[in-house]
Amino acid sequence: MNSKSITPGFLILTGMIFIAAFIRLIPHPPNFAPIAAMALFGGAYFTKRWVAFLIPLTAMFITDLILGFHSAMWAVYLSFILIVVIGMLLIKQKKISNIFLASVSASVMFFAITNFAVWASGIYYPKGLSGLAASYTAAIPFFHYTLLGDLFFVTLMFGSYELAKAKYPQLAKADV
């Protein structure tokens, strides 16, 4: 990345994603975290695709180094990568309805993929449809935290950046 790529818009977007990542280190209800918001935000605002993946993934990885890893991390990162893609696809027009749909889609997809991975590991649930159903059923009480957290942090991140763009129009013109 050259110095011409490091614009004020790039620094603000990157800073917001890293701040969101470090919010994960503060005590919070289970699954009420800015994970999907970071991925959607990066996918929606970074114009260079590789940056849209790199910045959120790096922020996530750094905080995971502190929080620790588990056997289903592959599913968390797969979900995260797919949520960046949702950000790229669904949020080309940053309308409230698109952002809401992307946030809810991200929550549902994260729930489906990560709980499938927990079941597939064979550690907690028996193989077969009954074990898969048990895995999803056991996760339902945590889903509302995921959904509320995603909606909260998506609103905070997208709203803050859009307000900043309204106050500082040069951010809207920045190719980040």
**pLDDT higher than 90, residue 134:** yes
Neighbouring residues of 62: CB distance < 8 A, sequence distance ≥ 6: 21
In this structure, what DSSP letter does residue 123 have? Answer: S
Q: What is the pLDDT of residue 7?
A: 86
% the chain with pLDDT above 90:
84
Which of 174 and 176 is assigned the larger pLDDT?
Answer: 176
Task: With cut-offs at 50, 70 and 90, classify the pLDDT of residue 90.
Answer: confident
Neighbouring residues of 42: CB distance < 8 A, sequence distance ≥ 6: 13, 17, 51, 52, 53, 55, 56, 84, 87
Q: What is the pLDDT of residue 4?
A: 64
**pLDDT higher than 70, residue 1:** no
What pLDDT, in 10s, does the model give residues 14-42?
999 999 999 999 999 999 999 999 999 99
Task: With cut-offs at 50, 70 and 90, classify the pLDDT of residue 172.
Answer: confident
Which phi and psi (to 5°) does residue 65 adopt? -60, -35
**pLDDT higher than 80, residue 107:** yes
Q: Does 7-173 carry CATH code 1.10.10?
A: no
Task: With cut-offs at 50, 70 and 90, classify the pLDDT of residue 91.
Answer: confident
Mean pLDDT of 94-101: 93
What pLDDT, in 10s, does the model give residues 62-85?
999 999 999 899 999 999 999 999
**pLDDT higher than 80, residue 5:** no
**pLDDT higher than 70, residue 175:** no
